[in-house]
Structure 1
Amino acid sequence: MSLGCITPLASSMLVHKLQKPALHKPLFLQKPFITPCLKTKIPARCRIAQTPINMALITTDEGITRRIGNHHPNLWDDDFIQSLSKDYDAPSYQGRAEKLIKFIKDRFNALPVQSSSADDLFQHLSMVDNVERLGIDRHFQTEIKTALDYVYRYWSDTGIGCGRESTHADLNTTALGFRVLRLHRYGISSDMLQQFIREEGQLLHFNSQSNEEEIKGILNLFRASLIAFPGEKVLDDAKSFTTTYLQQVLPRISNLNLSREIKFNLEYGWHTNVPRLEARTYIDIYGEDSSWASKTINNIFYTTLLELAKLDFNMIQSLQQKELQILSRWWIESGLGKLEFARHRHVEYYLWAAMGCIEPKYSTFRIGFAKLSALVTYLDDIYDTYGTLDELKIFTKSIKRWDLSAMDRLPKFMKVAFKAFDQAVTDMAQEAKKTQGRDTLNYARKAWEVYIDSYMQEAEWLAAGYIPSLEEYLENGKVSAGSRVVTLQPILSLDVPLSNDILKEIDYPSRFDELLCLTLRLRGDTRTFKAEADRGEVVSCITCYMKDHPGSNEGDALKYLNSLIDERLRELNWEYLKLNNVPIISKDNAYNLSKGLQLLYKERDGFTVSSIETKNLISKMMIESIPM
């Protein structure tokens, strides 16, 4: 089951100060994490018949009947992973990249001089937007801040025009500025967008016979509408109109690259658009036609920017291939590959981390996250399907003692899983100590113990045939989703120290952490409930909702849950973008993991069934280099 009325912001906010909206949450979202225990007798009306449609059973040599999930095997043979060539790891490529970076920095620094007052604000914003789309913005953080400070100097309650001397706000520039500035945590209210929208949600002064520039402006308004906080009705109206408009205008657009850009943004939006996917897509779009750059940069700069984007993508890909080889060897040596009943998805979990965490120095984050996530899946398959209830009770107690010798009475598959699990948690604590300057092993172990208890709770529910209320299920489910335990130690391994007080603002009991866990659980259940029910795992958000609402059906449950996910993702936007004591790099990587999960669950459970969309993403992101 694992790896799953608001006050608007005031318009008079100070720079880099975000006013927190008053958040009114359902009761089950207000409580802290708990792990309820099944102590009382379950009433008959709460029980379910255990007759799954497609439950697969096997009988072991010891005469024990076990359930299995019939999952497809590992798609990425170790020999293949070890054969990856890492073509772009030669020093000469780094030297070329450094020259390109210097050229682009010089262009950034020349913007105030070379830009005319008629369009200088738009040029500054476009430069920032383009390097971010192409995935090379980490090289230009100082230049980006200088450019955005310049734009913000001219920002007003009505937005901005194309240039510093403009007398009227421009939709395209204001929408682009709103999105970019908000994502960089400037104090930007959405109120100023109201001037462009009628009460019926329509844009004022828009021409139904749209030209290309107008379409780009509406596309930027659509992109801006996705970075919404709770209660921002103007962004709801903007999203509704721009979505319909862009869908209707698509067939009439002759510019194929603009058409492709619109399709990409409509399909992936914001919460499923991870940095690596966006960079790969825009490199293709920009590489086919330079018209995107015509208003902001000359041809020489255009070719330089695109060359750096391609080179940087391929260099990062070579590093990822090295890390994949390390991960694959760990998987072989751990013995986990011999657990035939389980899902072998270590490569897929590495993809999840690597699509958002790009900085080369964070190898420990990516590899550690992949290991822990893979181990969560092995534990999930043991608790949900393969282990017997009596075995699981002993297994749980043994794990919480952190003592392999306590598992003498347990079968070999549990010993293999625990040994790999215990070693990975210990290794990550050692890595974290290098950055944190203190031992965090006990802290991490306590988080894992709460997580293991939540698994045991679900196993007891399953054995008893019990369907809890949605409130009870989510209190336990946001723990068993596994988001906290697979994120905590990798974040501690980043090169930023986190005191206990700061850690509480990103880890439990922070609202940020709770929302990460909750959205994982909700999204996971909406994609996995049918397959899990066929395997005998009947309890999910859907069945719990239907129990709470007699007469409702799956469609009713999914409608409610998808609406709840949208609300919580908006709140997650707020928690991510508000300023607090948590280092930005820690929040960025945790938030990108949330986006990666939403992407990999976009069409289906992309981990259990990784042979379709997930396989294609791995090939495109980590195997196939971009022609230079």
Structure 2
Amino acid sequence: MSHQTSLVSVSTMKSPNTSKVERPLAKYHSSIWKDHFLSLSTEAMKIDVVMEERAKQLKAEVKKMLMISNRNLLEKLSLVDSIQRLSVFYHFENEIDQILEQIYANYRDFTSIDGDDDLHTISLLFRLLRQHGYRIPCDIFTKFVESNGKFKESLAEDARGILSLYEAANMRVHGEDILEEALDFSVKHLKNIMANSNSKFGAEIEHALKWPLRKDLPKLKGREYITMYQEDPSHSQTLLAFSKLDFNILQKLYQKELKELTRWWKDLNVETNFPYARDRIVECYFWTLGAYFEPQFNVGRKILTKVIAISSILDDTYDAYGTFEELQIFTEAIQRWDRSMVSILPEYMKPLYIAMLNHYKEISKEIGMDENSFHVHTTKEEIKKLARSYFEEAKWLNQNYTPKFKEYMEWALHSTGYFSIISVALIGMGDIVTNEILEWFFRKPKIINASTIICRLMDDIISRKFEQERKHVTSGVECYMEEYECSEEEVCVEFQKQVVDAWKDINEACLHPLDVPMPILMRIVNVSRVINLLYTDEDGYTNANGRTKFLIESLLVNPMPC
């Protein structure tokens, strides 16, 4: 049975009769935020001169701290780690690179010392070097292992060391058995430590077990870590003050950007034009902040937020409103990318189609390139593929067809929208993204496929029950259950294993020698982190009135007390 996407001739198209049509409506909650960000005053978002000058002064002092040469290894590592966790590392990238380069050149001198009292130091060294692309071997942990291959139980008393080992193990790649053992060992003992209500690391451990540093959003971690760092008796008052000030300055910048985006969203009249769709412009911006929070990516945040928002409505149009006949015409219109196609679309589809064409035209202006440039062409091709994948799934539903898992994944990886999101995230980075980078993207290297696998499988695990409450295309869980005759629980375990393997692929791609510069790779790491955050335990995008609301408040609403 062939299931290639086939569309219809324009000459046979006409706008279908949409009266008395039964539609697979979903029950999405309305926007939480309404006009909150639109109502913010200019004064409230103002970054005054005193604030900027104070930040400049503190930044210079932190830079001096980094350049002090007589610090011991642990002091150097701890300072770099704190700067990264506080999410101010983007100010000091050159200084951090110099420090880690020197440490890597001599790391064997630090790791050949006998004894168990340096588990934290060795784990921290390993993680920081791996995060920066250094291919430091995992055999540096051998001295902590017994002859039977198990980690020494005497280490269990070192809560800080065990937590650092756990974070290091999350940087593992395929074939690193000692790090697999490290993960099992650290998780077991961290759970025991967490059960002890007296442990000062309890809250930190609970968060880390769900969202280790490798899979957490830097800016959210920064907000959370400021409080932890403040309670550390050895903290630097200068670094703490700078981190708080930097957080508040960026928050005001984000609020300005979100105010502009909310106005654009309101002009689309989403509540009236697309009442069936998720009204989530603030959550779309939050998603984009996960991709890049640094201030220089303001253009990227603007264009990517709009693409995610448009794609979300597109998803709901295919998934929760459009009839098969309507979607067939709509898909062909998107492939042709021609404003004249508006005339054959149903009335409710016209505003979305026009908004899509307008925004991609706007993208070319925002990035300073012609509409026919390879950069803009790349993003258009990806959203066309996204529409084709949505339509293929609509065909499966229309024909009551359950594909084999391999066929499902071929289309479902595209229907995540992540190929489209990554393409836009890349062109929003500026001159660093050359045509050669985009050609690399088009080849769909392992790191990009890994990111889409994480998105697809975590989404399927979490969203399947809500989606099956109405008429909905079969999910990957059902496809796998039917083909391999296994239980839902067994499928979810298998999917989780595949997600773990995908993270190993991502980690491997971020080790030297690199195919593309590290900033490019970090966009893909970051969008993968967003999925890990939003789709652990719940669909935090669709159901955004719980934990997601709290996270948005902490990042975009509540300033950090200075």
Q: State TM-score, norm by structure 1.
A: 0.83
- Say which of 398, 405, 419 aligns to 1:484: 419
Structure 1 residue 337 corresponds to structure 2 residue 271: yes
Change (3 A) 1:398 1:236: same
Instruction: Tell me whether 438-447 or 133-142 shows the greater mean CA deviation.
Output: 438-447
Q: 1:172 and 2:172 equivalent? A: no
Q: Distance in 2 between matches of 1:595 and 1:104?
A: 28
Which residue of structure 1 aligns with residue 14 of structure 2? none
Q: Tell me if 1:567 matches 2:534.
A: no
Within 5 Å, give how 1:541-560 maps onto structure 2: 541-550=476-485, 552-560=486-494
In 2, Cα distance between the equivalents of 1:329 and 1:524? 30
Structure 1 SS opposite 2:314: helix
What is the CA-CA distance between 1:254 and the residue it aligns to?
A: 4.1
Which residue in the other structure is 1:243 paired with? 187
Deviates more, 1:358-367 or 1:274-283: 358-367
Deviations 1:524-579 (A, max 9, x none): 111111111112114111010011112x2211111111111111111122123443
- Give the structure 2 partner of residue 470 of structure 1: 405
Counterpart-to-counterpart distance in 2, 1:379 and 1:207: 52
The answer as to 2:252 corresponding to 1:285 is: no
Q: 1:532 aligns with which of 467, 479, 491?
A: 467
Q: What displacement does 1:246 show?
A: 1.6
The whole-number CA distance in structure 2 between the counterparts of 1:521 and 1:432 is 29
CA distance in structure 1 between the partners assigned to 2:322 and 2:418 by the alignment? 22
What's the counterpart of residue 218 of structure 1?
A: 162
Asked if residue 623 in structure 1 is aligned to residue 557 in structure 2, the reply is yes
Q: CA shift at 1:145, angstroms?
A: 1.7
Distance 1:526 1:583, change over 3 A: same
Aligned counterpart in structure 2 of residue 198 of structure 1, from 146, 160, 170:
146
Query: Are the counterparts in 1 of residues 327 and 391 from structure 2 also a CA contact under 8 Å?
Result: yes
Partner Cα distance (2:370, 2:78) in 1: 36
- 1:353, 1:366 within 8 Å by CA — same for their partners in 2? yes
Displacement after TM superposition at 1:344 (Å)? 1.1
User: Is 1:83 the counterpart of 2:40 in the alignment?
Assistant: yes
Q: C-alpha displacement at 1:247, in angstroms? A: 1.5
2:29 aligns with one of 59, 66, 72: 72
The 3 A distance-change label for structure 1 pair 206 and 434 is: farther
From the superposition, tell whether residues 437 and 95 of structure 1 become closer, same or farther in structure 2 (CA, over 3 Å).
farther
C-alpha contact (below 8 Å) 2:304/2:421 kept by paired residues: yes
Candidates 58, 65, 68, aligned match of 1:100 = 58
Q: Deviations over 1:411-437 (max 9, x none)?
A: 222001111111122222333345999
27, 51, 74: which one aligns with 1:122: 74
Q: Is the 8 A contact 1:260 1:285 kept in 2?
A: no
Matches of 1:480 and 1:271, distance apart in 2: 25
Tell me the alpha carbon deviations over residues 17-52 of structure 1, each in whole angstroms, 9 at most, x when there is no partner.
Answer: xxxxxxxxxxxxxxxxxx95168xxxxxxxxxxxxx
Equivalent in the alignment of 1:138: 90
Q: Distance in 1 between matches of 2:174 and 2:530?
A: 22
Unaligned runs of 5+ in 1: 1-34, 40-59, 294-301
1:213-238 deviation per Cα after TM superposition (whole angstroms, max 9, x unaligned): x3212211111011111121111100
Structure 1 residues 393 and 178, CA gap change in structure 2 (3 angstroms): same
- C-alpha displacement of 1:271: 4.8
Deviations 1:62-119 (A, max 9, x none): 2222221121111111255432664562222111011001111112112x23x3xxxx
Aligned residue number for residue 454 of structure 2: 519
C-alpha offsets along residues 105-147 of structure 1, whole Å, 9 cap, x if unaligned? Answer: 112112x23x3xxxx1111111110100111111111221222
Contact 2:134/2:511 (<8 A) preserved: no
* 1:341-389 deviation digits (Å, cap 9, x = unpaired): 1111111011112134121121121122211111111111111121111
Q: Which amino acid aligns with 1:230?
A: H
Contact 1:435 1:492 in 2 (8 A): no
CA distance in 2, matches of 1:36, 1:576: 36
- Range that drifts further, 426-435 or 313-322: 426-435
- Contact 1:160 1:168 survives alignment (8 Å): no
Q: Which residue of 2 aligns with 1:602?
A: 536
Q: Which has the higher contact order (CA 8 A, sep 6+)?
A: 1
CA displacement, residues 429-471 of structure 1 (integer Å, 9 cap, x when unaligned): 3333459994533332222222211111111100111110100
Q: 1:497/1:381 Cα in 2 relative to 1: closer, same or farther (>3 Å)?
A: same
Q: Cα offset for 1:614?
A: 0.9
Q: Aligned with 1:67: secondary structure? A: coil
Contact kept in structure 1, 2:393 and 2:473, CA below 8 Å:
no
CA contact (8 A) 2:134 2:512 kept: no
- After TM superposition, the structure 1 = structure 2 runs for residues 351-362 of structure 1, keeping only pairs within 5 Å, are 351-362=286-297
Match of 1:184 in 2: 132
Cα distance in 2, alignment partners of residues 477 and 456 from structure 1: 11
What is the CA–CA distance in structure 2 between the aligned matches of 1:74 and 1:512, rounded to whole Å? 34
Partner AA of 1:170 in structure 2: D
8 A contact 1:384–1:537 mirrored in 2? yes
Number of the residue aligned with 1:29: none
**Counterpart selection for 2:107 from 155, 170, 180:** 155
How many residue pairs match? The answer is: 549
Matched, 1:37 2:4: yes
Q: What is the letter of the counterpart of residue 175 of structure 2?
A: G
Output one character per residue of 1:299-344: Cα deviation in whole Å (capped at 9) or x when no partner: xxx1111111111111111111011101101101123332101111
Q: How has the CA–CA distance of structure 1 residues 157 and 562 changed in structure 2, closer, same or farther, with 3 Å as cutoff? A: farther
Unaligned runs of 5+ in 2: 7-16
Rounded Cα–Cα distance in structure 2 between residues aligned with 1:558 and 1:95: 52
1:390 aligns with 2:390: no
1:78 partner SS: coil
**Match of residue 174 from structure 2:** 230
DSSP-derived class of the 2:477 partner = helix
The answer as to whether partners of 1:502 and 1:581 remain within 8 angstroms in 2 is no
Asked whether 1:308 is paired with 2:251, we answer: no
Residues 207 and 602 of structure 1: CA distance in aligned 2, closer, same or farther (over 3 Å): closer
Checking the alignment, whether the CA contact within 8 Å between 1:324 and 1:347 is kept in structure 2 is yes
Amino acid at match of 1:591: V
- Structure-1 residue corresponding to 2:436: 501
- Compared with structure 1, are the counterparts of its residues 435 and 290 closer, same or farther at alpha carbon in structure 2 (3 Å cutoff)? farther
Whole-Å Cα distance in 1 between the matches of residues 319 and 372 of structure 2? 38
CA contact (8 A) 1:160 1:174 kept: no
Identity in percent: 28
Structure 1 letter corresponding to 2:193: V
CA distance in 2, matches of 1:420, 1:578: 41
Query: In 2, distance between residues paired with 1:512 and 1:207?
Result: 34
How big is the shift at 1:198?
Answer: 2.5
Mean Cα displacement is larger for which, 330-339 or 615-624? Answer: 330-339
Quick check: 1:124–1:148 contact (8 Å CA) kept in 2? no
Deviation of 1:580 after TM superposition, in Å, equals: 2.5
* Cα distance in 2 between the residues matched to 1:456 and 1:277: 36
Tell me whether 1:432 sits opposite 2:374 in the alignment. no
Task: State the distance in 1 between where 2:48 and 2:122 align.
Answer: 43
Distance 1:434 1:232 in 2: 44
Counterpart amino acid of 1:606?
A: G
Structure-2 residue corresponding to 1:458: 393
Is the contact between residue 364 and residue 370 of structure 2 (CA under 8 Å) also seen in structure 1? no
